[in-house]
Structure 1
Amino acid sequence: MTYNVLEFGAKGDGAANDAKAIQKAIDTCSLAGGGRVVLPGGHIYNSGSILLKSNVEFHLEMGAVLKASDHLEDYYPLANGGKIVAHESGLPSFLNSEYNGRPFHAFLYGYDQENVAITGFGTIDANETIFYGSNSGYHIEGTYYPRIPLMLLEKFRHLTIRDVKLMNCAFWTVHLVGCNDVLIEGIRLINNLQMANSDGIDPDHCTNVRIIGCHIECGDDAIVLKNSGDYNQYGPCENIVISNCTLISTSAAIKIGTEGECSFRNILVENCTISRSNRGISLQIRDGGDVENAVFSNITIETRRFSHEWWGRAEPICITVHDRKPGVKAGKVRNVHFQNITCKGENGIFLRGSEDQYIEDVSFENIHLTLEKTSRWDIEGYDIRPCQGDGEIRTKISGIYGDYARDIRLKHVKIRVEDSMRPFYKEDVTLLNTENIEL
């Protein structure tokens, strides 16, 4: 069965709040046993929060735009009674990393549903401008934190998101929590590259996830696996495939962490192109969860530094293991492999464990790295934020920097240094800096 939202009272004029009509169509469809809820093309549907339900395909036709409301009171309250509060730390969000994963509100939301799909060549616009705070020219700070995700779907089974365009989100765009059997294919996700915390796709405590053939541009991590503290009942993030994606990010294009209170296991990333990014691949372990059994292969990476406000110093591959704060012991990184990767950018590969938590069993095979200066920003060494202290390691860079790591294997690794990088390059050592590293 097909359920047309216009027949349920939606105006589609870009002014009226169509949330009640859209919700009525979804509820009717689900109660009838399932079908397709259609937003016809040629209309802008202004809307507050929408609850997705079992056995419903939410379909946006070509030319249909679902736009998030300008008014916070139109959004479904989740935490804190829906009351908005400022940063409790008083810090900007690029420094404040204390977040349990649960926002105050959500735009598209659902809990404990199955057989749900979001499809079509229409657009979902999360209306980021209503969250603008200060603007440095390189970084837009939001008016509060955490802001409203475009999508928060918790405990979904058999979820498909295909073909839609998602845009203008001021926070985590696709936040999936405790979901099993997820297919995200062919979506276009376009956020403002200056907007803080506007992650692309965030599988959080999820299993059996496939992210295939997507294009993502965002002002934070493009695809990031997480295990946030408020959802530990769902266990590890595992059995993840990311393939054939094109990614642009002002933080890390592909990241594991920072929130990592459970383990990450069995991860395959392949056939992706990363460009114009502040970091390429980042394993950022700050909590108790381990990372193990991960393979990154057939990837091209192009990095440049965006500004001092974003974490990272243009590292194409970065693995760091540090305690976030006293009393919280970081997990381990082991059995991770990088193969057939071409990197070009303003920094080298960076591995830094801790004195009591070594990175171990990591291999690099068929790696081609070119160091070339392309941005206006100085290359100041390395960045291990978030951590205790300022997190900066001020030194000239190396092709590969390793500290507190063991069983690191290199095979067919070639590093070329262009003249533009010579002032920043540590020429008094070989291409591998082996301080506190056991090969």
Structure 2
Amino acid sequence: MVVAMCLTAAAQDTRQVTEPKIPESCVQLPAQLRATNHMLNMADESKLDTERIQSALDTCKQGMAVELKPSSGNNAFLSGPLEMRSGVTLLVDEGVTLFGSRDAKLYEMKGEGMTPGLCGTIAADAPAVFPAPQQTPRVRGGCRPLISVMNVTNAAIMGNGVIDGRGYAKILGRDYSWWEMARKAEPKNQRYYTPRMIVASHADGLVLYRITLHNSTNYHVSVNGTNGFTAWDVHLLTPTTRGQDARNTDGIDPGHSTNITIAHSWIDSGDDNIAIKTGVSHMSVLDNHFYSGHGMSIGSETYDGQSFLLVDGLTEDHTTSGIRIKSNVTRGGPVHDLMYRNICMREVANPIAISPYYTNQTTEGFVDPGYAGNRIPDYKAITIRNVVDTTPGNVLIAGLDDAHRTEVTLDGVKVEGIKPEQVHGRFATVTVGAEGTNLDFSKTEIKVVAARGAGGEEEAYSCDGRFVPMQ
């Protein structure tokens, strides 16, 4: 496959990122199961492909792929946890779905000191996970992910096929699904044990390319401790059945990593479309489309900082938030040198929410909840340029106190139909650039400064043709 483009201009990922290539296959594994209407037959729930897929990954030569292919009308694979290997690609062909097993026992963490039987349960006696950062649980154990990418380099997951975590489905031997368990744990902020779809740690050079991800039981992609991660033309849709409740099914969540690019992808999720966790620097989010979900988020954990982010060419269509930075005094830290530009939104409840008031809700409140803590959110050097929301929504720009003022530049920012009472904030300084903004801060305590040369009437950034159906 010919490289289509190179992403380098003004990117905050320091790498020269090009469109990935699908490698040749070391082995082709034929499907032995048949899904109908994207569902497996109950009789096939015990027919696992885990062993043969894992054996192929273990023996494949670096630089080649284990290919899952349709065969004689069969189009499905069923697996428990899989472990990627250095330099090896898992290639899911078009028309093929790799389903995650519904058997919680398969995902149980193994090893000395692990408590069995936790996966698929709520830890009723564990400390609440909010508002304080998650504490080390009193017991060890839980769930392994469907796909682990641990301590390897240059692994990849590619193809025009689907990986489906089946979060909607009842856990075998239980009367509830993974998603129902997540919602049941919410009122008391209880810890619960569920597998994530793809978890990478110390996985330099990881690539996701053209793959479709559906219905993860929890986060779809979690990447930590990694230098160099690329997600290109990823299609993520959860829940696939509208109206289902898919709590905590974030799209792509990097943390404690550097040199990250997420490009040309389509994300419609049950939680944050992208959530940048603490310790991330030098990241580019380029030419993506978001649909249902909580938007382009940073946080809520920011205690080790997030810095040097570029979001360019994003379209957000019916997300709850647009540009979202969320934290509070139990989990905050320095967030700085962020550039958001060329962004189009519509039907977004909170087009801009820069908040030290996070309360574990879908959208931010406009007042300090009064939590106690010494991890202080501090937001500086944030530029928002050429951003248009074609429908009205609330804007929040706030700092914690006068010693930790949020500093933002708005340059060509327009929220059509917004009223002064929809603009909220305090302990913040907003610099208005040459292309201006239609946000009226007169009912806030925000300090507004005009940049040198500001005040001209410039033509608004155009969103013509940007809103297209999910692909």
Is the TM value for this pair above 0.5? yes
Q: Could you list the structure 1 runs, at least 4 aligned residues long, displaced by more than 6 angstroms after superposition.
A: 89-93, 100-103, 139-144
State whether structure 2 residue 428 is matched by structure 1 residue 402.
no
> Could you tell me which amino acid in structure 1 is paired with residue 356 of structure 2?
V
TM alignment of 1:291-302, pairs within 5 A: 291-302=335-346
TM alignment of 1:134-145, pairs within 5 A: 145=192
TM alignment of 1:315-394, pairs within 5 A: 315-322=350-357, 325-371=371-417
- Is the 8 Å Cα contact of residues 398 and 406 (structure 2) preserved in structure 1? no
- Is the 8 Å Cα contact of residues 225 and 255 (structure 1) preserved in structure 2? yes
- Distance in 2, matches of 1:140 and 1:25, equals 43
- Distance in 1, matches of 2:218 and 2:207, equals 21
- Is the 8 Å Cα contact of residues 333 and 360 (structure 1) preserved in structure 2? yes
Unaligned runs of 5+ in 1: 228-235, 305-313, 373-395, 417-429
Q: CA deviation at 1:76?
A: 5.2
Aligned residue pairs, count: 378
Alignment RMSD (CA, Å): 3.2
Question: CA offsets, 1:332-357, max 9 Å, x none?
Answer: 10000000010134423211111255
Unaligned runs of 5+ in 2: 1-23, 35-39, 169-176, 360-370, 450-471
- Distance in 2, matches of 1:56 and 1:256, equals 31
- Distance in 2, matches of 1:249 and 1:209, equals 23
- The verdict on how the C-alpha distance between 1:342 and 1:21 changes in structure 2, with shifts beyond 3 A counting, is same
> Could you tell me which amino acid in structure 2 is paired with residue 433 of structure 1?
K
Question: Which residue matches 1:386?
Answer: none
- The verdict on how the C-alpha distance between 1:52 and 1:87 changes in structure 2, with shifts beyond 3 A counting, is same
Report % sequence identity: 21
Which of 254, 269, 280 lines up with 2:311 in the alignment? Answer: 269
- The verdict on how the C-alpha distance between 1:250 and 1:96 changes in structure 2, with shifts beyond 3 A counting, is farther
- Is the 8 Å Cα contact of residues 216 and 238 (structure 2) preserved in structure 1? yes
- The verdict on how the C-alpha distance between 1:289 and 1:354 changes in structure 2, with shifts beyond 3 A counting, is closer
State whether structure 2 residue 276 is matched by structure 1 residue 221.
no
- Distance in 2, matches of 1:358 and 1:415, equals 26
- Is the 8 Å Cα contact of residues 142 and 195 (structure 1) preserved in structure 2? no
Q: CA deviation at 1:12?
A: 3.8
Question: CA offsets, 1:98-140, max 9 Å, x none?
Answer: 446996321101211001111110100011113132799xx99
- Distance in 1, matches of 2:302 and 2:386, equals 27
TM-score in terms of structure 1 length: 0.77
- Distance in 1, matches of 2:297 and 2:432, equals 22
- The verdict on how the C-alpha distance between 1:294 and 1:47 changes in structure 2, with shifts beyond 3 A counting, is same
- The verdict on how the C-alpha distance between 1:436 and 1:146 changes in structure 2, with shifts beyond 3 A counting, is farther
- The verdict on how the C-alpha distance between 1:245 and 1:97 changes in structure 2, with shifts beyond 3 A counting, is farther
Q: CA deviation at 1:92?
A: 10
SS in 1 for 2:205: strand
State whether structure 2 residue 163 is matched by structure 1 residue 124.
yes
Q: CA deviation at 1:149?
A: 0.9
Question: Which residue matches 2:37?
Answer: none
- The verdict on how the C-alpha distance between 1:135 and 1:73 changes in structure 2, with shifts beyond 3 A counting, is closer
- Is the 8 Å Cα contact of residues 220 and 251 (structure 2) preserved in structure 1? yes
- Distance in 2, matches of 1:338 and 1:145, equals 37
- The verdict on how the C-alpha distance between 1:28 and 1:356 changes in structure 2, with shifts beyond 3 A counting, is same
TM-score in terms of structure 2 length: 0.72
- Distance in 2, matches of 1:134 and 1:68, equals 17
Q: CA deviation at 1:77?
A: 1.7
Whichever structure has more strand as a proportion of its residues is 1
